[in-house]
Chain A
Amino acid sequence: MNREEILSKINEIFQDAFDDDSLEISESTTANDIEGWDSLMQMNLIEMIEDEFEFQFTMDEVAALKNVGSIVDIVASHV
């Protein structure tokens, strides 16, 4: 799976999580760009990404997340 495919699947997850089908994210999107992306939503997003790509984040990986691009990095290293 290349980065674009991963990003596209993550985009779908964001649409479900925020219940907004028009939501479009990019690798540079951060928590500041989306209303409602707080620490609680972050927990949920990580769970959903784990469900989708069938691996578990380590604590270090979660701690190092900066933006959507860094999520794609971690997913790419697992799948």
Chain B
Amino acid sequence: MDCFNYPLDTKTLRRKRAKIYRELSEKPGLIEKKVAVLGGSTTNDVVDMLSIFLLNHGIKASFYQSEYGQYWQDAMFGSPELDAMNPDIIYIHTSWRNITDFPQMDMDKSTVDDLLENQYQHFEAMWTALEEKFHCPIIQNNFDRPNYRLMGNRDIWDYRGRSNFISRLNQRFYDYANNHTGFYINDIDYLAQDYGLSQWNDAKYWHMYKCAMNMDAIPYVAQSVASIIKSIYGRNKKVLALDLDNTLWGGIVGDDGVEGIAIGPEVPAGQVYAEFQSYCKNLKDIGVVLAIDSKNDEANAIAGLNHPDGILRPDDFVSIKANWNPKDLNLSQMASELTLGVDSFVFADDNPAEREIVHSQLGVETPAMDGAENYIKVLDHGGYFEVTNFSGEDMKKTQMYHAKAEAKKAQAAFADYGQYLDSLDMTAYITGFEPIMIQRVAQLTNKSNQFNLTTLRCSEDDIRQMQDGGKHICMAGKLVDKFADNGIVTVVAGEIEGSIVDIKLWLMSCRVLKRGMEDLMMNEFVSRCKEKGVGKIVAHYYPTAKNSMVKDFYGDYGFTLENEDEAGNRTYSINVADYEQKPVHINL
């Protein structure tokens, strides 16, 4: 829905909230999550807005809210309701109003330092308690700027200034975030500035409603929290598909020629587009994949992308569709080539008519790219590519997709598929869930949808517990071939009960589909079962909207179908002794 895109239509969001909630709740394929909101102010409105923003990302949340202002008590001493809920995510909604002690003008530096430490410890003790009890991600607001600056400009740099004190306290929060996975800052300091600090701090809302900020700003707060949550659960967008003419440069390359388009330092219009190209290039560094979807002759498109003053080059894109086909058709083709869902795309085009077609045909997000000077702002405020976990793999995404395309081409040249696989010089490394891999393994369980038998989503703690608990066979597989190091691409975990192992988790990244990696993993899994004295393997397939490709996975390995319920949930089993090793083309 358009009201969710920047600039937010806060009027509609408020007015039609009940209706929007009702409609979005009926969408198929929603995942359910339990969210505890621990507030230092009124949180009802935050929860109301958060619920529809999350639904818009396909997440149906049930909420716990602490009693007014009881965030700290709930965390430290528990509440029966909160404990019973056992939340998936905790959001701590505090603001500068919750700082209980500020520096006074007659205090010396070390007194203020002690004060800061006290205020900080109040929070850290709470995070520790929550972490120990619930082992789930925590989202914590930082502090916004306060309602006045007693010393004027001096307030921000003098240790006695409230502004300075808050800035230092925030820095302590960030240090904690840097040292703790599963802890995320919701940057209301930025939101307040972006909204306009005087409006944000309109005191009426605090004194009348005990609402920490202007109620009109709450949709922005909810959008921000929802962006973090959806990112944690693997619902980020992955691909930015871009138009060319008047999107990546000014003018029309087919009409104006390469010399005639506006890009580069010479004129203001050229500078605006160059800055936008730089922004897109930076997106690549956080793992966003770029593509072109443009009505153009391909030769003109490539020529435009090779403009000497341009920043982006043809090989920055994993796919360039420059032709005269409808753009929605190009986009869905691109999606299937990259083995991604169209819901992983954001489509950026200056032409509202093209946006409308792509949006109505495919439901793809199409931010309102009106005015080249607004492009960066519109995309950046959309929260499409919110980074929560960042791994080295993310920086190499484009390279990996390129390698995949190369591999597809190479494949065409071989008559026999086995010969082709041999030519890839593949080497696999199979290990348990080593500490260094935990983040990536958890990320995969949350991101993989297609080649995923049980769609079991795991936090980093869940993964750690499997590895350390001694009850699981844990396997992570990394695959290197002559084109690229694909990194960890497959994760398997089975729980041992006596002489039976139950496969709780079996997933693989689609980027290594049809390489035989799954055969190797199965061979290895069975070997490990033998080592552990396991006689029988039980396995499951739980259908989702996206994983039908692995419906018959276990059947293909000779497992017997024991049971299938009405929803299509299947249970399989096999005696370890009956398993026949599959031939593979990968070195171990």
Q: Which residues of chain A have a CB within 8 Å of any CB of chain B?
A: 13, 16-19, 40, 43-44, 47-48, 51-52, 58-59, 62
Main secondary structure of the interface of A (DSSP, over half): helix
Q: A44-B45, A48-B14, A51-B14 are in contact. Are A19 and B209 (CB under 8 A)?
A: no
Q: A43-B215, A47-B216, A51-B11 are in contact. Are A59 and B208 (CB under 8 A)?
A: yes
Which of B15-23, B149-157, B223-231, B364-372 forms part of the interface with chain A?
B15-23
Contact call A13/B18, Cβ cutoff below 8 A: no
A18–B18 Cα distance when bound, in Å, is 7
Closest Cβ of chain B to A41, distance in Å, is 9
Contact call B207/A59, Cβ cutoff below 8 A: yes
Q: Which residues of chain B have a CB within 8 Å of any CB of chain A?
A: 10-11, 14-16, 18-19, 22, 42, 44-45, 48, 204, 207-209, 211, 215-216
Q: A43-B45, A59-B204, A59-B208 are in contact. Are A16 and B16 (CB under 8 A)?
A: yes
Write out the residue numbers on chain A whose beta carbons fall within 8 Å of the beta carbon of B216.
47
Contact call B14/A44, Cβ cutoff below 8 A: yes
Closest Cβ of chain B to A14, distance in Å, is 11
Main secondary structure of the interface of B (DSSP, over half): helix
Q: A19-B22, A51-B11, A59-B204 are in contact. Are A43 and B16 (CB under 8 A)?
A: no
Write out the residue numbers on chain A whose beta carbons fall within 8 Å of the beta carbon of B204.
58-59
In-complex Cβ contact of B208 among A16, A52, A62 (8 A): A62
Write out the residue numbers on chain A whose beta carbons fall within 8 Å of the beta carbon of B11.
51
B207's nearest neighbour on chain A, judged by CB, is A59
Write out the residue numbers on chain A whose beta carbons fall within 8 Å of the beta carbon of B22.
19
Please give 10 more A-B residue pairs, beta carbons under 8 A apart, in addition to A16-B18, A44-B48.
Answer: A13-B15, A16-B16, A19-B18, A19-B19, A43-B45, A44-B14, A47-B216, A48-B15, A51-B14, A59-B204
The 8 closest A-B CB pairs, nearest first, are A19-B18, A51-B11, A40-B44, A16-B15, A43-B209, A47-B215, A48-B15, A59-B204
Write out the residue numbers on chain B whose beta carbons fall within 8 Å of the beta carbon of A40.
42, 44-45
A62–B14 Cα distance when bound, in Å, is 19
Contact call B14/A47, Cβ cutoff below 8 A: yes
Closest Cβ of chain B to A20, distance in Å, is 9
Closest Cβ of chain A to B371, distance in Å, is 25
9 A-B pairs with CB atoms under 8 Å apart are A17-B18, A19-B18, A40-B42, A40-B45, A43-B45, A44-B48, A47-B216, A51-B14, A62-B208
Closest Cβ of chain A to B539, distance in Å, is 45
A59–B211 Cα distance when bound, in Å, is 14
A12's nearest neighbour on chain B, judged by CB, is B15
Closest Cβ of chain A to B48, distance in Å, is 8
Closest Cβ of chain A to B408, distance in Å, is 51
A57's nearest neighbour on chain B, judged by CB, is B204
A16–B16 Cα distance when bound, in Å, is 6
Contact call A43/B211, Cβ cutoff below 8 A: yes
Write out the residue numbers on chain A whose beta carbons fall within 8 Å of the beta carbon of B42.
40
Write out the residue numbers on chain A whose beta carbons fall within 8 Å of the beta carbon of B16.
16
Closest Cβ of chain B to A51, distance in Å, is 4
Closest Cβ of chain B to A78, distance in Å, is 16
Closest Cβ of chain B to A18, distance in Å, is 7
A14–B439 Cα distance when bound, in Å, is 48
A62–B209 Cα distance when bound, in Å, is 11
Closest Cβ of chain A to B17, distance in Å, is 8
Write out the residue numbers on chain A whose beta carbons fall within 8 Å of the beta carbon of B208.
43, 59, 62
Closest Cβ of chain B to A68, distance in Å, is 17
A16–B215 Cα distance when bound, in Å, is 18
B205's nearest neighbour on chain A, judged by CB, is A43
Write out the residue numbers on chain A whose beta carbons fall within 8 Å of the beta carbon of B48.
44
The winner among A40, A43, A58, A59 for most chain B CB atoms within 10 A is A43
A43–B15 Cα distance when bound, in Å, is 12
